[in-house]
Amino acid sequence: MSDDANLIERFLEMLVAETGASQHTLSAYRTDLEQASGITGGLLSSADREMIRKLPSHWRRLKNSTVARKSSSLRRFFGFLVEEGFRENDPSDALPRPGLVRSLPKTLSHAEIALLFQLVAEGLGREPVKPSVVRLSAILELLYGSGLRASELVGLQRSSITGDKPYLIIKGKGEKERLVPISQQARIAVRRWGEFVDSKEKWLFPSRTGHISRIRLFQIIREHAVRAGISPVKISPHVLRHAFATHLLEGGADLRALQTLLGHSDISTTQIYTHIDSARLVELVNNRHPLSQLDLTR
């Protein structure tokens, strides 16, 4: 299998595991990427800006919406390659942006998050407690409480969390290490889960062949959402990460601090959350500004 074919498959696997992409979505991505790979002679994954700049010449007869989709597919693919360490730079800024409006990431409300944790708390309160519930508690605390990526969570080693250290040192995308704060509640949840894991195990969330896969993590989260009465379409490990970021920003977090917590190399990636928060800001102006309290019709 060529490098392009192999990396496209890994990219599509990531989409399923982290976002629950539908077969229709996967098919569209596959078509866009395989066509671009064919145009570049099978060198898409290693293409430089000059090569990428030539792609739009093959899209001249296409509608703007189709060009926008193809550009978006390639941008996400190159972002994946950089973040996973398969290449050092992202050449996708050479692609056209035909009236693109960047879509906002899905997130969950505070009430929906509360439902997820309430159901876990009920399970932890039963005797005997099920190991699967203890594991789920640790997973939710780390995904929503620390904003870990799915790949970072499943790849956590038992040694990642030791004693009462208020942080994790994890290796994120691109093999970059970063400090991730971990709450007291998360440490308790992880410590409790550790009692169910064989001390000889390397991974914090082991499986029969190593650690649990991103696809299995996705299934665990969705199954729990259904039990909590939340539409499974609305949730994935990545949505919990978005909720972590959105709710921190709503609580007054600084954008630079949020960038560090999420492990974004470029703050422009983090700035998408300012758009999510815009509705709250409009409400703030409408309800709290002095002029909103005045009756100017008199």
**3-94 CATH pick, 2.60.40.2140, 3.40.50.150, 2.170.190.11, 1.10.150.130:** 1.10.150.130
What local confidence, expressed as pLDDT, does residue 117 receive? 96
> 51 is written with which tokens?
């090569």
Catalytic residue, from 211, 241, 242, 247: name it.
Answer: 241
| Per-residue confidence in pLDDT tens, the chain, 298 aa | 568 999 999 999 988 887 778 888 899 999 999 999 999 999 999 999 899 988 988 988 888 888 888 998 999 999 999 888 899 889 988 888 765 445 556 789 999 999 999 999 999 999 999 999 999 999 999 999 888 888 889 999 888 776 677 888 776 666 667 778 888 888 899 999 999 999 889 999 999 889 999 899 999 999 999 999 999 888 999 899 888 888 887 777 777 777 777 777 666 666 666 655 555 555 555 665 565 555 545 4
169 touches 203 (CB < 8 A): no
- pLDDT at position 241 is 87
Pick the CATH number of 110-277 from 2.60.40.1120, 3.40.50.300, 3.40.50.280, 1.10.443.10: 1.10.443.10
Q: From the CB of residue 281, how many other CB atoms can be counted at a distance below 10 Å?
A: 11
Catalytic residue among 173, 211, 224, 242: 173
Q: Which residue has the tokens 């890994």?
A: 10
Catalytic residue among 29, 135, 247, 273: 273
How many angstroms separate the CA atoms of 247 and 249, rounded? Answer: 5
Kindly state the helix (H) or strand (E) to which residue 177 belongs, with its residue range: strand 177-181
Using DSSP, state whether 116 is helix, strand or coil: helix
Give the other-Cβ count within 10 Å of 94's Cβ: 18
Catalytic residue status for 149: yes
Query: Is 216 considered catalytic here?
Result: no
Marked catalytic residue, from 70, 238, 242, 247: 238
Give the per-residue pLDDT at 135.
97
**79 φ, ψ to 5°?**
-60, -40
**Set 69, 70, 135, 149: catalytic member:** 149
Active-site option among 69, 211, 247, 264: 264
Where do you find CATH 1.10.443.10 in the chain? 110-277
Residue 238 bears catalytic tag:
yes
Backbone angles phi, psi at 204, to 5 degrees: -70, -35
Cβ partners under 8 Å of residue 214, min gap 6: 13, 14, 17, 18, 150, 151, 154, 237
pLDDT at residue number 1: 53
**Distance between CA atoms of residues 267 and 264, nearest Å:** 7
Told to judge if 289 belongs to the known catalytic residues of this protein, a careful annotator would answer: no
Active-site annotation holds for 241: yes
Helix (H, G, I), strand (E, B) or coil at 168: strand
Which regions of the chain carry the CATH code 1.10.150.130?
Answer: 3-94
3-class DSSP state of 185: helix
Q: Is residue 74 within 8 Å of 29, Cβ to Cβ?
A: no
167 as an active site residue: the answer is no
Q: How many CB atoms are located within 10 Å of the residue 174 CB?
A: 15
Contacts by residues 250-259 (CB-CB < 8 Å, ≥ 24 positions apart): 250/277, 250/280
